[in-house]
Amino acid sequence: MTTTDGSPPAIHPARPDDPPGSLLPGTEEYAEDPRHYGIEHGDPWPEDVPHGQNDMHWRYEADPRGARRAELRIAACWSVTLLCGIGLAWVYVAGGQAQVEGALLGAAFFGLGTGFVLWARDLLPGHDVIASRGGLTHVSSEDDRRLVVQSLGRGLEPMARRPFLAKMLGGVLTVFGIGLAFPLASLGPRVEGQFAVTPWGRGTRAVSEDGTPVKPGDIEANGVLTVFPDTGEYLGSPAMAQSAVLLINLAFAPFEVLPGREDWHIGAVGGGNCVVGFSKICTHAGCPVSLYDWSSHLLVCPCHQSTFKVIEDCKPVFGPAPRNLPQLPLAVDSAGYIVSRSDFNEPVGPGYWNRPIRTNPFTGKAVRYS
Ligand code: FES
């Protein structure tokens, strides 16, 4: 039906559950309703907006056999995804092979995506519709908005008309999802509270990389030395890696001693040979912090340039590190070697290792990540 006088055509409800004023898609009234094309009520039909447009047209609308073939093509694509999902789980259980798993994953997503593209191209409405641009001040009316919502809702109907594909998609996604979940088993054991403690303890000697115990005089003024707890453990172990401590001879620097830490350093502050110890593990992402500039008393992490002010409790003054480097309480034992008074009083390493420890109600163990 065309509008000769510029007024909108008669409107009738399309379905009982549609809002009043809806028109049935595919009907002549729907195709000629000016509201679908941004034409203001009462305005004449613009010359550049064709009559009789059908935005519900789809490729195999008039060819049921073509539509059936399209369905089968889509099903074939998703079968590839199904088989790859099963293969992924099988390869993982059989011991895993990264390249094969990657290839299966790629093929699975390719099949899934191709199926969706074919469904959209062959079985869903996808016809271009030309509408009026309206004036510069044109804003969507209530009718415009309601029609857009209706139109989006109708987009689901063509999908619901394909129960075979919908069911197959559900099955494929379920099997593929289970296949994808298998690698979760590779996440390893929970780290629980292991970051909260290090092998440092009361009287633990500090040894250099080659296992030699260290005396305060071994660190020259304004020099630094990396040490580890003397536990006999392999230096490359995770426990030793997180225990690395940087001993710093502050010489005459005005080190700020925090309350309660009066005996955590060796020698008198500002006395020419004051030695302090701080965790070497950056509180940003765990790199070893080792670039010390004695003239500014700054420690720099080489990874992302977090900079710590040593004489102010190693607080971060630049970069992404969120908190101070933890200080290790030091002492000298009866043989003159540097020892720790206790473990660190806070977790070393990245800020998120510093989260409060909670107790797992089922195992009773300390848990940091839960
Ligand atoms: S790990 Fe040190 S700044 Fe990022």
Q: What is residue 253's predicted lDDT score, i.e. its pLDDT?
A: 93
pLDDT > 80? residue 41 = no
- Please give the number of the atom of ligand 1 that sits closest to the Cα of 306: 3
Sign of CA dihedral 144, 147, 153, 157: negative
**Assigned domain for 9 exists:** no
Together in a domain, 138 and 200 = no
Instruction: Compute, in angstroms, the gap from residue 192 CA to the centroid of ligand 1.
Output: 23
In a domain, 15, yes or no: no
The ligand 1 atom nearest the CA atom of 304: 3
**Domain end position, chosen among 187, 213, 245:** 187
Does 20 reside within a domain? no
Question: Is residue 22 one of the residues assigned to a domain?
Answer: no
Distance (Å) from CA 350 to ligand 1 centroid: 9
pTM of the model: 0.53
Half-sphere exposure of 146 toward its Cβ, with a 13 Å CA cutoff? 10
pLDDT of 13 above 50: no
List the CATH number of the domain containing 198: 2.102.10.10
The answer to whether residues 310 and 292 touch, using CB atoms and an 8 Å cutoff, is yes
Could you tell me if residue 211 is inside a domain?
A: yes
Same domain, 154 and 302: no
For 122-165, how does the pLDDT look when each residue is reduced to its tens digit (9 = 90+)?
988 877 778 777 665 666 777 777 777 777 776 677 777 788 89
Is residue 366 domain-shared with residue 247, that is, in the same domain? yes
| Residue 247 reports pLDDT greater than 90 | yes
Same domain, 34 and 181: yes
Residues 43 and 132 reside in one and the same domain: yes
**Do 57 and 142 belong to one domain?**
yes
For residues 133 and 215, membership in a common domain is answered with no
Query: Would you state the pLDDT for residue 359?
Result: 66
- Please give the distance, rounded to the nearest whole angstrom, from the Cα atom of residue 71 to the centre of ligand 1: 53
DSSP track, 192-254? GGGGG--S--TTEEEE-TTS-B--GGGS-TT-EEEEEE-S---TTSHHHHTT-EEEEE-TT--
pLDDT of residue 136: 59
Predicted confidence band of residue 49 (pLDDT cuts 50, 70, 90): confident
Q: What total number of domains does the chain contain?
A: 2
Atom of ligand 1 nearest to the CA of 301: 2
What residues does ligand 1 touch, defined as CB less than 6 Å away? 282, 284-285, 287, 301, 303-304, 306, 319-321
Overall average pLDDT of the 89-105 stretch: 89
317 Cα to the center of ligand 1, angstroms: 13
CB 308 within 8 A of CB 317: yes
Considering the domain boundaries, does residue 19 fall inside one? no
Give the residue, out of 306, 307, 352, with the most ligand 1 atoms within 8 A of its beta carbon, to mutate for a pocket test: 306
Question: Do residues 334 and 227 both lie within one domain?
Answer: yes
Question: Cα–Cα distance between 254 and 296 in angstroms, integer?
Answer: 11
Q: Where among 187, 222, 246 does a domain terminate? A: 187
Per-residue H/E/C for 143-160: HHHHHHHHHHHHCCHHHH
* 88 within domain boundaries: yes
Last residue of a domain, one of 187, 215, 236: 187
d(CA 64, CA 289): 70
In this structure, of 46-50, 95-99, 125-129, 309-313, the range with the lowest mean pLDDT score is 125-129
Q: Are residues 158 and 66 in the same domain?
A: yes
Indicate if 268 and 313 belong to the same structural domain: yes
- The mean pLDDT of 72-78, rounded to a whole number, is 95
* Cβ–Cβ under 8 Å, residues 347 and 353: yes
Mean pLDDT computed over 352-363:
65
Range of the domain at 366: 193-370
Cα–Cα–Cα angle for 66, 67, 72, nearest 5°?
95
The protein residue whose alpha carbon is closest to atom 4 in ligand 1 is: 304
Residue of 287, 308, 323 with the most ligand 1 atoms within 8 Å of its CB, for mutation: 287
Same domain, 105 and 247: no
Which of 301, 323, 348 most suits a substitution to test ligand 1, by most atoms within 8 Å of the C-beta? 301
Q: What is the pLDDT of residue 190?
A: 64
Compute the average pLDDT of residues 157-180.
Answer: 86
Q: Looking at the structure, do residues 287 and 206 belong to the same domain, yes or no? A: yes
